[in-house]
Each structure stands twice: as structure tokens, then as C-alpha cells.
Structure 1
Amino acid sequence: MKYQILLAAALLFSACNRDKSGEVGTEGMNAAATDAASDATANPTVDNPNVVSEDEAPNPNAPVMKFTESEFDFGDIKADSKVRHTFTFTNTGKSPLLIQDAIVSCGCTTPSWTKAPVLPGAQGTMEVQFDSRGKQGIISKQIAVRANTQPNITTILIKGNVLTVGAAASSPL
């Protein structure tokens, strides 16, 4: 019992000493935060080519990617199978549209797209293949299409329900 009281007292006193040294340490952290804030005030602009600033007008001649559908639902997908869907888009802008790349949220999803510039008024495609191998249940995968548009990222989505091995799609009676 004596040892427990001594241990509690020792912890109490050491905790008090830590508070004091913590206060000293925060002065350095506060000084660093103050320096960072003063730097931000001195140089308030940050160049980001993907964001149109409030005082900069968007390019009226930029290409515009308009998908006929922004998401597709495969419904029930057999286990260990591959399914595909082709998204169609139109360039409703005033200059040629060029897709730089398409970033997927999972390695099980593979996009392929029109490589040539899509002229104003013309259509292009984005084919998306999903491999259900090793997956089961509800899936939702995003494809971020990066192009010379404003904004430069357009997101499309595929979804579905991967059935378990041996399960058949249920049908209403």
C-alpha cells in the first residue's frame, strides 16, 4: 500500500514538471506558426493552374466534356468475370478536347479512351472494364478523367453487385 501511494505521488509531481516544460516548448511552436502566418500575409497568392481565381475569368474557348451519363450500374455481376461499359461524351466547347489520362480508384478497373483530339461538336468514348475477380458484394468505382477542360477533372462512376461464387441472380416469383 505504501508503494502505491509513493508511486502515485511520484507520478503527480512528474506530471506537474511536464506541464511547465510543455509551456516552454509551445512558444517555439507558436513562433513557427506566427512566422508561417506572416509569410502567407506577405505572399498571399498561391499559383495553382487547376483553380480559376476569383479575379480571373474562365477561358470561354476551352473545350467542354459533356458525358451522356455520369454513372452506370452493371446490376448483378458474376463472380470472376469481366464486364465493360462505354461512356460517350461530346465536346460542347469551342476548341479541341484532349484527354490526358484517366485515374481509377482500383486496379480492378481499366479505362481506355479516344486518344485523338475531339473537335468541337464531335463525340469521343471512354470504355471502362471491371474485373470482379476477388471481389464480392456492392462495388462503386470512380474514374477521374483529366483533360484540357475547365475544371480539368471530370468524374464518372461504375457500380454493381458482385455475386458470390455459385450464387445465381435472384429472380422474382
Structure 2
Amino acid sequence: MKKIIFLFAAGTFVLASSCKKQEAKMENTPINPAAQITEAPMPQTATPPADGKYPVMEFETKEHDFGKINAGSKVVYTFNFKNTGEADLIISNAVGSCGCTVPEYPKEAIKPGESGKMKVSFNSAGKNGQQQKTVTITANTAAGKEMLTIKASITPVTGIAQ
């Protein structure tokens, strides 16, 4: 019993002293001002155009379900849209909700009445079960943001390929 108490006390001492050494190292580390954390900039809202005319992104569908796919599969879906507004549509960014979801969007302006495509790739590696991911589009529409959704049911691959 005395050995257990001694080992516990020794372990506690080692942990406590190692934390103090780490704190001392941190106190003596020079701070790089460029690496300091700053507040994230506030999101910009769409400034109303002088003529009050906005583009409108009208999608054929804003959601796609890939259904059942095997784990590790890479699948792609293309969302079709049309600018039904009265001004040129400019997409400034499109971001997936995780690194497994990658959108590709047109970089050129879409004129009123013209159509465009947004290709979304999904990599199911490391995923299992029901998955739902989103793509957030930043554009010069009245809302400023549009959202697309993809879904899939990931089935684990059984057996080992030889």
C-alpha cells in the first residue's frame, strides 16, 4: 500500500513540475505580432445597387441525394442554375461544409437570362452512415448567400481486396 501511495505522489509531482516547465517556456517565448489572433471581419452584406436591380440564382434543385455509396467513393453532382434577375450574377466564393465537399463555380459574370453550373464533388473516405453536407455560395444576390445540400448513405466496404 505504501508503494502505491509513493508512486501516486511521485507521478503527481512529475506532472506538476512538467506543467510549470512548459509555462516557463511559454513565458520566455517572444510573441510574433503577425501571428496574433484577431477578430474575424464582419461579413459584408450586399450593398443595394443604385438601380435597385439584383441578380437571382434560380436552381433546378438545391438538394441532391447520392443514395447508397461505398465508403471511399468519390461522387460528383452538377447543380444547374439560371440568373432570373435583372443584373449580372457574380459568384465571389463557394465553400463546402467540410474538406470532403468541394464546389467548382463559374468565375465569370452570368448575365440575366443565362445559365450556369456548380459542380460539387464529395469524397466519402473516412465517412460512415448517413451524411449531409452543404455548400455556401457568396454572390451579389439580394440575400448575399445561397445554400446547396448533398446527402449520401455510406456503406462500409467489407472484405479486403487482394
TM-score range, shorter chain: 0.5 to 0.7
Quote how far apart the aligned CAs of 1:58 are. 10
How do 1:22-61 residues align onto structure 2 when only pairs under 5 Å count? 49-50=44-45, 60-61=52-53
Structure 2 runs not aligned, ≥5 long? 1-41
Structure 1 runs not aligned, ≥5 long? 1-46, 168-173
CA distance in 2, matches of 1:48, 1:59: 23
- CA distance 1:156–1:58, shift in 2 (3 Å): farther
Quote how far apart the aligned CAs of 1:57 are. 10
- CA distance 1:139–1:59, shift in 2 (3 Å): farther
CA distance in 1, matches of 2:46, 2:50: 10
- CA distance 1:162–1:64, shift in 2 (3 Å): same
Q: TM-score, normalised by structure 2?
A: 0.67
Quote how far apart the aligned CAs of 1:60 are. 3.7
Q: Percent of aligned pairs with the same residue?
A: 39
* Higher-Rg member (1/2): 1
Q: Which residue of 1 aligns with 2:4?
A: none
User: Is the CA contact (8 Å cut-off) linking 2:46 and 2:141 kept in structure 1?
Assistant: no
Note the aligned Cα RMSD (angstroms). Answer: 2.4
Match of 2:119 among 105, 124, 127: 127
Q: Which residue of 2 aligns with 1:70?
A: 62
Paired residues, what number?
A: 118
- CA distance 1:81–1:125, shift in 2 (3 Å): same
User: Is the CA contact (8 Å cut-off) linking 1:58 and 1:150 kept in structure 2?
Assistant: no
How do 1:1-173 residues align onto structure 2 when only pairs under 5 Å count? 49-50=44-45, 60-166=52-158
CA distance in 2, matches of 1:110, 1:85: 11
- CA distance 1:115–1:134, shift in 2 (3 Å): same
- CA distance 1:137–1:58, shift in 2 (3 Å): farther
